[in-house]
Amino acid sequence: MPGVGSFHDAMQLLKETGLEAFIHQVVEEGKLLFGICLGMQLLFEESEEAGHTKKGLGLLGRVVLLKDRDQDGQRLKVPHMGWNELTFHQPSPLFDGVPEGFAYFVHSYYVSDMNPDEQLASADYGVQVPAVVGKGNVLGAQFHPEKKQYNGNGAAQTIYSISKRTEGEQMSEFYIISSD
């Protein structure tokens, strides 16, 4: 499933292939679901991409266009591409033993109006961009974790480690939504 591309096209593909229902089943069964970049955005109720509201998986809040100016009117490059510092807000197994650091972002949209308890980390890009989100067994990263190493481990190893620690139980399966 794409981790980059169009929200609408990705949701259409999920519906046509039956993966939308499968993803909901995975979540209901308590298995770990991890969305990366567009995959994270697809976890949300809807997106304003291309000037139209599109329905997502409905597991978290909503996604809106990243504005091209900050609160002071300073111009921002959109799409946002580059390294930004992460600030942790909520504890998560994703951060166990991991110091705050930089992560690589490539996106034109970001999550807004979300439950602050579900925003695990953010990055400042003229607005506070939710960088890591989570609710129960559903996690997502707006940045590309494959470009950020966690204590020498790649993203897949980190996610596997999380799946083993989630709610203190061993999980035999986990799912990643990404093109990478």
CATH number at residue 66: 3.40.50.880
Summarize pLDDT for 29-56 with one digit per residue, the tens. 988 888 888 898 899 888 887 777 889 9
Residue 173: predicted pLDDT: 54
Residue 179: predicted pLDDT: 47
Which range marks the domain in which residue 119 is found? 7-177
| 108 lies in some domain | yes
pTM listed for this prediction: 0.79
Whether 101 and 145 have beta carbons less than 8 Å apart is answered as no
Q: Which helix (H) or strand (E) holds 132?
A: strand 128-135
Enzyme catalytic residues: 37, 144, 146
Which residues, 6 or more positions from 33, have their beta carbon under 8 angstroms from its beta carbon? 23, 26, 27, 43, 59, 137, 138, 139, 174, 175, 177
Q: Find, among 86, 83, 63, 69, the residue nearest to 127 by Cα.
A: 69
| 29 lies in some domain | yes
Residue 95: predicted pLDDT: 72
Residue 105: predicted pLDDT: 85
Q: Report residues of the chain scoring pLDDT below 50.
A: 1-2, 150-152, 167, 169-172, 179-180
The total of structural domains in the chain comes to 1
Q: What is the DSSP secondary structure assignment for residue 150, as one 8-state letter?
A: B
As given in the structure block, the two tokens for residue 90 are 């909520």
